[in-house]
Amino acid sequence: MMRAMRCHAFGPPENLILDQAPIPQPGPGQVAIKVAAAGVNFADLLMTSGQYQEKPPLPFSPGFEAAGTVREVGEGVTGFALGERVVAMTDWGAFAEQAVARASDVFVLPAEMDFATAAALSIAYGTAYGALTWRAALKPGETLLVHGATGGVGLAAVEVGRAMGATVIATASGPDKLALAEARGAHHVIDYRHEDVRTRVREICSGVDVAFDPVGGAAFEASLRVANWGARIVIVGFAGGTVPQIPANILLVKNASAIGFYFGSYRRRRPELLPGAFAQLFAWYREGLIRPLVSEQLPLDRAAEALLRLKDRRATGKIVLELG
């Protein structure tokens, strides 16, 4: 048996309890990992509340990303050594001392990267890279607008956009968050609570070529209004709580695109894209172009507290659970 934070009933984060659970065994094509650190994501909040695209059978442990060491490999798996340091993306189950993942979702860590940093990188930076590369085809010299720029995925998009050669405009709230976005590579920042995003973007430039939107609602509306001809608006989530209704006439007039991006489906349908993506992310990390921000490290039994901070939008960067 192992320690695990488990959800026995869909609902608020307080439903999570520290429990004893069976140790998962790797099936064919899977890798079993001794977890040292687990990243906390907004999607964990959706899954435990029963609002996610998938509903695991109860009880289950949430957690989409784990960093640790290889414990065992399943049938047909090659390329991993027992005890090797890896980062893995899971369908769920990372908030536990042991987890399993598809081998295609497991990557050997650079020697320079610690477990907490790795647990903060995989989902956020994988999402940012995939959205801006595979879907938006962001080009050097283009202008990128990033909403929610100091959350885990937003901050990743600021850094990835800068590394790709874009001019980055970041929206956030308050001087501390604006300063963080600037420190991580944003060329321009906008305080969306005290400034009109549309007006400020027009003061900065003629319009944006790509918008990265994990927020929805008013953020999407602002992106649409400041979009250049041929712009791409990539929808990656609705942290603001409102799913936008898209006025197709504006897309038509601007020849613009509203593009959905769900990293999890790419992991299943296009796994061959992942090795190149992570090789590039690790290279940027070695060069100092991306630096995942671990804002807090909490013990496993405080997972519910971590999720509440995400729910209340009180977190910057990534919160990581420590297990090792």
Between CA 117 and CA 115 the distance in angstroms is 5
Q: Which of 114, 69, 88 is nearest to 292 (CA)?
A: 114
Mean pLDDT of the chain: 95
Which residues are within 8 A (CB) of 259 and not within 5 positions of it... i.e. 6 or more apart?
135, 136, 232, 233, 234, 235
For 34-83, what is each residue's pLDDT tens digit? 999 999 998 899 999 998 888 999 999 999 999 999 999 999 999 999 99
Structure tokens at 10: 């869909």
pLDDT value of position 197: 96
Domains of the chain: 2-109+293-322 (3.90.180.10), 124-264 (3.40.50.720)
CB 3: neighbour CB atoms within 10 A?
A: 17
pLDDT at 86 over 90: yes
pLDDT value of position 151: 87
For 124-181, what is each residue's pLDDT tens digit? 999 999 999 999 999 999 999 999 999 889 999 999 999 999 999 999 999 999 999 9
Between CA 130 and CA 124 the distance in angstroms is 10
Q: Are residues 21 and 300 in contact, defined by beta-carbon separation less than 8 angstroms? A: no
pLDDT value of position 189: 98
